[in-house]
A = this chain, B = another copy of it.
């Protein structure tokens, strides 16, 4: 433990500089105009893995962005940990809300501000540096494999094929991912579940051209109005989702499970103050922790139509569109929910408009076991590094890869995240606390140590 702390102390500045260099790449996978930057980011990751001591490092091409692979096999008889992360990031807009440029990382009150600082560049890079540390101190206790992809923020569309085609190369005993949050440094926690995702785009078309709202208004259906009516109808007055069959497969938790979940530190007043809202929202009959952890949702991620420029334009628009995504919980299935949404949304469109529903991507919900060797190793590692036993929580986000791994490689995942909910993931001014970055680098070698010991 002491030599770990010492090594981190001696290399602190370099560990930061390298992360900053990584954060300067605008690797936005959703926007084609960043294609070259995303590709450069993959090369940088490969280079750093090599430098840290990884072997067989390869930037593996896919139909989309490449997957960076690297490994260090010390002894075939030892357990193998597969580290997953992603080097792509969310789009940075709305740019005007950033207090510093998203791709020019800066440190303010001990926090690193940049798009990707936490999600997931800062978090996966902790593993690269922890690996370097174990190699340098010659304390790597097990085999380790890295798979860092570039399409997580757009649904990991090509990972499935890659995993299926590389089952042997990826063969491991556990997947270790740092792409989630903990409650705080004072209340460390481990997420034991993630929500799935079904993401779609809808387009409503009324008249075949934009019309003068005076000449035609009143006699022709306004697609923006109709879209609003259709979206409004997707929740009832209790904020239940009205899509027929939507809740059919939702696993309900026992009272004990719910009590345990709600035992996690949570202060509604602070929560509301942080968000600047007077009142929370949510499905009747559940707590905020449950709303974001064990219940499915339907969110409008974006909506647009008609004249959105400055001033006034009296137009009756031809089209209106929205991006809508649903977070799924065990045992909902992404494809089934996507179909249910599509059928329902098409069925509620009045004849006065045309409706087009285009699925974007999805991911399956997962629950990770809390009785596995890997989970116990993570508990011990965090307890030693933080001086506190971690609390199990349910995460609201989605990491499609987790269920993919279970399905294709038959191995479970440990979600050892060091971010915070307040890190503004997917928002302007994303940040990652420097303390969490280094605490992560300190904790990861301990995970490998205990996982190897407990595996004996």
Contact = CB atoms under 8 A, between A and B. Distances in A.
**In which size bucket is the chain A interface?**
35 or more
Interface string A364-386: 00000000000000000000000
A85 interface: no
A427 B209 contact: yes
Interface stretch (A39-47, A75-83, A217-225, A242-250): A217-225
Given A93-B309, A210-B426, A216-B292, A301 B314 contact: yes
A428 interface: yes
A282 B314 contact: no
A225 B235 contact: yes
Contact of A217 (B155, B219, B221, B299): B299
Contacts of A424: 209
- Interface centre among A209, A213, A306, A427, by most chain B C-beta atoms within 10 angstroms, is A213
Interface stretch (A126-134, A158-166, A315-323): A315-323
Contacts of A227: 228, 303
Contacts of A3: none
Interface in A198-239: 199, 201, 206-222, 224-225, 227-229, 231-233, 235
A283 interface: yes
A427 B210 CA distance: 5
A312 B398 CA distance: 14
Contacts of A225: 231-232, 235, 299-300
A303 B224 contact: yes
Contact of A288 (B219, B221, B229, B301): B219
Nearest to A234: B225
B280 A220 contact: yes
A360 interface: yes
Given A224-B300, A228-B303, A231-B225, A211 B275 contact: yes
A40 to B, nearest CB: 19
A310 B31 contact: yes
Contacts of A282: 218-219
Nearest to A426: B212
Contacts of A219: 280-282, 288, 291-292
Given A199-B312, A312-B325, 14 more contacts: A29-B311, A30-B309, A153-B313, A154-B311, A155-B312, A210-B426, A215-B421, A216-B275, A216-B421, A221-B280, A229-B231, A299-B316, A301-B306, A311-B360
Interface of A: 29-32, 90-91, 93-94, 97, 153-155, 181, 195, 197, 199, 201, 206-222, 224-225, 227-229, 231-233, 235, 275-283, 288, 291-292, 295-297, 299-317, 320-323, 325, 327, 350-353, 360-361, 395-398, 421, 424-429
Enumerate the 9 nearest inter-chain pairs by beta-carbon distance, A residue then B residue, closest first: A208-B276, A214-B397, A30-B311, A218-B291, A302-B306, A232-B232, A221-B281, A224-B300, A219-B291
